[in-house]
Structure 1
Amino acid sequence: MPEVLLIILYSAFSGITVFFGGLVSYFFGKEFSGNKHKKEINHFVIAFGGGIILAALALVLIPKGIEELELFPLILCFAAGTLIFFFLDKKIEKSGSKYSQLIAMLLDFIPEALALGAIFATDRKTGILLAVFIGLQNLPESFNSYQDLTANTFKPKKALSILFLLSFMGIIGATTGFYLLSDLPKVTAGIMTFASGGILYLIFQDIAPSVKLKKTWLPALGANLGFLIGIIGDKLIH
């Protein structure tokens, strides 16, 4: 199979989970509307996503940056990602945007998709692993994005339509990365390191503080499960 078709296939998987996460959230809202454990399950899903994102950062994004970049560019890219995500987060909060979850999802999805396409040409196993990580992290992020959208006047059908359209961002980003960045490993590593800085900021600013619940340990277990899946995936390709 031609390389570009494989990239489209794997990036389609990583993107379509944006829509699937919204569908799960839709059925979850209907089936568990009166369930006393709904809040715990919701926080478990958020924490699981945080664990997956942390695994992607620790096992793929940062190691690739360290491998390809000298110390100063590495610091510069990571710091730039951190600061830009910080300023965007502040701006979103100040503007009172009702779609912060959706914006946060796209902020890490787009650079990761670009990196996926660029990596695939030279390191298929790592590219596949990154596609799996992106797909798994998109599930809980879109799960929450759907709730964000429906809580702010969007009908379920319209909210799902938005998530379905956004699911194609994976294919667009990955094919762009393949054609423009596959011969530029240092630029790709810079994008991955930049994304790492922003993702780490979002984990500790938004995800970790929001999963804590009194008298339940389920969310923390979700984070560990998410990271464990990342370890398993990394072990399988090495």
Structure 2
Amino acid sequence: MPYEIIIFAFLAGSTVFIGGILSYFFEKTVLNRKIKIEIVHFATAFATGIMLAAVAFVLVPKGMHSLSIGFSILIFLLGAIVFYFLDDYIHKNKTSIPQFLSMLLDFIPESIALGAVFIYDYNTGILLAIFIACQNLPEAFTSYIELRSSAFSKSKALTMLFVLSFTGVVFSLIGFYLLKDNPELTSSLMLFAAGGILYLIFEDIAPSMKLKNSRFIAFGVNLGFLVGMLGEALL
């Protein structure tokens, strides 16, 4: 079982670096500023749709499965509150990389949940790995551009994404070994992540993806959510 978790966690995390590499070549080859902005906003919208699908199809329903409704609500709200204060701290310190930090904040709890959930539901583990991989690709794509616009060098931005891509394996193994005998704690983590992700989506990510005179961008959310619908149907 651990080797399967390592494989799926690696595949899910590898898209962080792949997204960064794609963004690196995108920055070099696409010179038209208008097209570049539209593609970045569409990628952000697509990632948002996948994140919503992860919350709707995996994190909330699977998280509530082992918990009472009252405790589920409490943990879900706790996730939103904790992410609220983290987000507030980030803004007060004038950190100008919200997309990268959002990816980091949702990638870690999702990875822990990935390692733990494989024990109880193999298919759900695979589905969550797919969600994480699909979500990380466009998030890393836009995060690289964000890092570059915040005065990070190309090598430093790619190094940060490269390191982050492997942290998923570490946190998935932590989830496997520490939570394998505690389905209630695993469910709590999934609901906590769901609450935090929803807060970040509508506080930081969704407002930034809106583009003047381009309502088509919002369709990216639908397409991202469609990935989740297909994954749920197939597995």
What TM-score bracket applies, with the shorter chain setting the length?
A: over 0.9
Question: Aligned pair 1:178/2:169, yes or no?
Answer: no
Structure-2 residue corresponding to 1:58: 56
Give, in whole Å, the separation in 1 of the partners of 2:150 and 2:213. Answer: 30
Aligned residues: 235
Q: What's the RMSD between the two structures over aligned residues?
A: 1.2
SS at match of 1:96: coil
Tell which deviates more after alignment, 98-107 or 155-164: 98-107
Q: Could you tell me how far 1:147 is from its partner in structure 2?
A: 1.6
2:94 paired residue number: 96
2:228 partner amino acid: G
Q: Deviations over 1:113-151 (max 9, x none)?
A: 000000111211100000010111111211122122222
Q: What CA distance in whole angstroms lies between the structure 1 residues aligned with 2:212 and 2:109?
A: 35
Deviations 1:160-203 (A, max 9, x none): 11110111111001111111112111100000000000000011
The one-letter amino acid of 2:85's match is F
Structure 2 equivalent of residue 28 of structure 1: 26
| Partners of 2:98 and 2:204 within 8 A in 1 | no
TM-score normalized by the length of structure 2: 0.96
When normalised by structure 1's length, the TM-score is 0.95
Q: Which residue of 1 aligns with 2:2?
A: 4
Aligned twin of 2:42: 44
CA distance in 1, matches of 2:83, 2:122: 29
Contact conserved, 1:40 with 1:218, CA < 8 A, in 2? no
Aligned-pair CA distance for 1:68: 1.1
Name the % identity.
52
SS at match of 1:36: helix
Q: What SS is found at the alignment partner of 1:213?
A: coil
Question: Gapped runs of 5+ residues in structure 1?
Answer: none
**Could you tell me which amino acid in structure 2 is paired with residue 27 of structure 1?**
F
Structure 1 match to 2:127: 129
**Counterpart for residue 154 of structure 2:** 156
Question: What is the SS of the residue equivalent to 1:167?
Answer: helix
Partner of 1:206: 204
Following TM superposition, the consecutive aligned residue runs of length 4 or more in structure 1 with deviations greater than 3 angstroms are none
How far did 1:14 drift?
Answer: 0.8
In the alignment, which residue of structure 2 is the partner of 1:232?
Answer: 230
**Which residue identity does 2:34 align to in structure 1?**
K
